[in-house]
Amino acid sequence: MSINFRLSSILVVLTLFGCTKSVPEAPFCRSVNNAKHTQETAACIIKVQNRALLIKHRLSNRLDFPGGGKKDNESLACAAHRETWEETGFNVEVGRKLAVTKNNLALFECTLDAGVELLPNVFDAPPWAKLEVVELVQADPFMLTHVELRFPDDLIVFRDSFNQIEPRKPRQE
């Protein structure tokens, strides 16, 4: 029954935003990381069981982390939150900074409690993200090769960061 409820919740959100082309306003930033950071760009690593939720970037047709640059006085963690919302439609909670890539992209541990593990490994991005994102992909970082990533040099730091994330315990209902 809880599986059906989670799937229903996801479908309701996707249906509500299914007819819009403009990005809905991002939800309030959910972050436990209020530290100052020197980077200007940030992304989320979202662990879903033994996979990570990635975006397939439209221009390169390769996989990438959901993320992007800061706006105005936005914190780096809130930039990761907002960019992840804009590219995936998921309201994550941003945790600790795990690493920084060679391109100076800060990678944050982000958690999601939306039943994503019940979705297929490849599914549509929200309609408002279609200009930038082809689809959302749940991928095992250790089965990927560097050429599958938008920035091939990110593979090792991606795997190292993924290994730092503790498995989430199933929710008691």
Tell me, what's the pLDDT at 173? 54
Tell me, what's the pLDDT at 114? 77
Pick the CATH number of 2-164 from 3.40.50.300, 2.30.110.10, 3.40.630.30, 3.90.79.10: 3.90.79.10
Residues of the chain with pLDDT under 70: 1-21, 169-173
Tell me, what's the pLDDT at 30? 87
C-beta neighbour count of 171 within 10 angstroms: 9
Tell me, what's the pLDDT at 171? 55
Q: Considering only CA atoms, which of 109, 27, 110, 38 is closest in space to residue 76?
A: 38
pLDDT tens readout for residues 113-125: 878 989 999 999 9
Q: Cα separations (Å) of 49 from 116, 156, 166?
A: 10, 19, 10
